[in-house]
Amino acid sequence: MEQSKTLYLVDGTAYIYRGFFAMPHLSNSSGLPTNAILSFVNMLKKFINEMNPKNLAVAFDRKEETFRHEEYEEYKANRAEMPDELIPQIPYIKKIVELMNIKILEKAGYEADDLIATAAKRAEAAGYDVVIVSADKDLMQIINDKIKMYDPMRDRWYDKDAVEKKFGVPPEKVRDVMALMGDTSDNIPGVPGIGPKTAAKLICEYGSLDNLLQNIDSVKNKKLKERLRDHYDDALLSKNLVTLDCDAPLDYDIDDLKKEEPDKEGLTKIFRELEFKSQLQLL
């Protein structure tokens, strides 16, 4: 891939949580927790040093509820609240990304995944290759010849073939499989009793969720047929919930995503406040 025509989109929220739980408690002399901040900076800098991206953006979730909560009140209701020690670290993380002159993508009412999907599709339309930096399986639904995914923690790449190997269907049918199997981590109901293998088998056989639901009577397994009838609405709801919005209202130009030189003065000031001696030495 030609770097000047490749856009890298980082799942910043995933980086934050991974960093927070990976690094033991750490704080500066004033008592501010800093473990998530330091871990995030280390991971982001490592990625930049390895990939040398010319076009880059970092996407974050926001605290507001999203359009998915409006459709289904129980969406992500099983998730624990953000840890108290993490809350004060979020503004510092975003400020550091700004000082690194990296474009931040965030929008009230939308998840980071939707913003990544929107930016990826816009970049593809503008003739760019796209690399999504994440391990989130939800993002695999938009992978194609121009859009790939890289999981930096496992050093694993996902193209169309890798997605099909994982789900048993090509990327464009991942939503249908996920709608049937549900997702306990996001509290998406799916159809109880249908796991990933059965879901993939059904979608391969019927071609799509819609066609399956229109032809429930032809399903040979009696229990499976009953489950599909009983949870018809849940399957349709689940597909809506897992479908990424590729047209979120983001206001930016593709040139805004070009990576610029960092604000060393600003970074020096914030790293001194956080007492990140190692980061100060690297500036």
How many Cα atoms occupy the beta-carbon half-sphere of 16 within 13 Å?
A: 23
**pLDDT recorded at residue 278:** 87
**pLDDT recorded at residue 2:** 75
Is it true that 3-166+244-273 and 168-242 share their CATH fold?
no
For the chain, 283 residues long, give each residue's pLDDT as a single digit of tens. 777 799 999 999 999 999 999 888 999 999 999 999 999 999 999 999 999 999 999 999 998 889 899 888 888 888 888 999 999 999 999 999 999 999 999 999 999 999 999 999 999 999 999 999 999 999 999 999 999 999 998 999 999 999 999 999 999 999 999 999 999 889 999 999 999 999 999 999 999 999 999 999 999 999 999 999 999 999 999 999 999 999 999 998 888 899 999 999 999 999 999 999 988 887 7
**pLDDT recorded at residue 29:** 95
Q: Which residue has the tokens 């991206």?
A: 53
Give the residue extent of every domain in the chain: 3-166+244-273, 168-242
CATH class of the domain comprising 3-166+244-273: alpha beta
DSSP states of 79-126 as a string? SPPPPTTTGGGHHHHHHHHHHTT-EEE--TT--HHHHHHHHHHHHHHT
In eight-state DSSP terms, residue 78 is: T
- Taking alpha carbons only, the member of 38, 42, 86, 24 closest to residue 61 is 86
**pLDDT recorded at residue 217:** 93
- Rounded to 5 degrees, what are φ and ψ at 137? -65, -25
**pLDDT recorded at residue 244:** 97
Alpha-carbon span 204 to 34, nearest angstrom: 48
- Taking alpha carbons only, the member of 260, 6, 223, 254 closest to residue 129 is 6
Alpha-carbon span 175 to 53, nearest angstrom: 30
Alpha-carbon span 58 to 52, nearest angstrom: 15
CATH class of the domain comprising 168-242: mainly alpha
Alpha-carbon span 184 to 76, nearest angstrom: 9
**pLDDT recorded at residue 144:** 97
